[in-house]
Amino acid sequence: MPLILKLLLVPSLIALVTLAGRRWGPGVAGWLSAFPIVSGPILLAIALEQGSDFAAIAAANTFLAVLAVLVFSVAYARMAVRANVAACLGVALLAWALAVAVLQRVSLPPWAGFVVVAIALLLAPRLIGQPPAPGAANVRPARDLPWRMLAGAVLTVAVTQAASGLGPTLSGLFAMFPVMSTVLVGFSHRASGPGFAVALLRGMVGGYHAFAVFCLALALLLPGGAIGPAFLVATACALAVQLGVRRITARRGGRSVRV
């Protein structure tokens, strides 16, 4: 089962999000990518291999790692108006790594960490700023899907294989590596310009509320509990929050752009 999760499930989910984004635009892609489609299976594989108590600590640190992903998003958005994709990704990933280095030294109870993440999610859109006016979109051949899937598989295998050596804190932090942000935003920036990339980053922020709920539920339910029911309840809670955010976003409206 862990091997199937590593080699099949995560790449398949990344492919589905990519295809949904190409069909319905970055609003849907951002909404879906913020759901724990990558880190969720990683945490499940960690739980199956390392046990529920280990996974509970990893989950608590994974939702703290939302802060590192927000740092990535802000850094990329601020660079996007003045630099190319490679420079933006380099600066953003460096900012993410520095944030992870700080977070691994922080120890907060789950509820306190959730409050900190919730406040950061409210502030992040202002720090990202409004997207610049988009230029003309370029239609590019969709030849990158296998590479996206491969990246998801490599990340999942690397994090879960290293989990015992990294320990639950770093395993949880690395489970939130910004795979979807790096791939979707990078390709969108290259194809459609910085305005589209920044708009996509802003769209992703709203979805992280559901992700935080997912990880909080795991951190509270996994210690001493059954793995399957804990993940089912956490997924149901995250889905309820995700649908609520989607409804609020739909009421506000907004333009869709291609990714």
Q: How far is CA 73 from CA 19, 77, 107, 234, 253, in A?
A: 22, 6, 23, 25, 22
pLDDT at 159: 64
Q: Is 113 exposed, middle or buried (0-12, 13-18, 19+ CB in 10 A)?
A: buried
Q: Closest Cα partner for 17 from 183, 191, 232, 251?
A: 183
pLDDT at 123: 93
Q: Closest Cα partner for 186 from 79, 50, 31, 71?
A: 79
What is the pTM (predicted TM-score) of this model?
Answer: 0.78
pLDDT at 256: 43
Q: What is the pLDDT along the chain (259 residues), one digit of tens a residue?
A: 556 666 777 778 778 877 877 777 666 777 777 777 777 877 887 888 888 998 888 888 888 888 999 999 999 999 998 899 999 999 999 999 899 889 888 878 878 888 899 899 989 989 998 877 655 444 454 577 787 788 777 776 776 666 556 777 776 677 677 777 787 788 778 877 888 788 888 878 877 888 889 989 999 999 988 899 999 999 999 989 888 877 776 676 544 444 4
User: Taking the CB of residue 141, how many other CB atoms lie within 10 A of it?
Assistant: 5
Q: Closest Cα partner for 14 from 139, 206, 151?
A: 151
pLDDT at 75: 96
pLDDT at 202: 84
3-state SS track over 207-235: HHHHHHHHHHHHHHHCCCCCHHHHHHHHH
pLDDT at 258: 44
**Distance between CA 48 and CA 195 in Å, rounded?**
41
User: Taking the CB of residue 101, how many other CB atoms lie within 10 A of it?
Assistant: 11
Size (the chain), residues:
259
Crossing angle of helices 26-34 and 10-24, in 10° steps, is 160
The first and second tokens of residue 160, run together, are 């879960």
pLDDT at 243: 84
Chain-centre distance for alpha carbon 94: 17
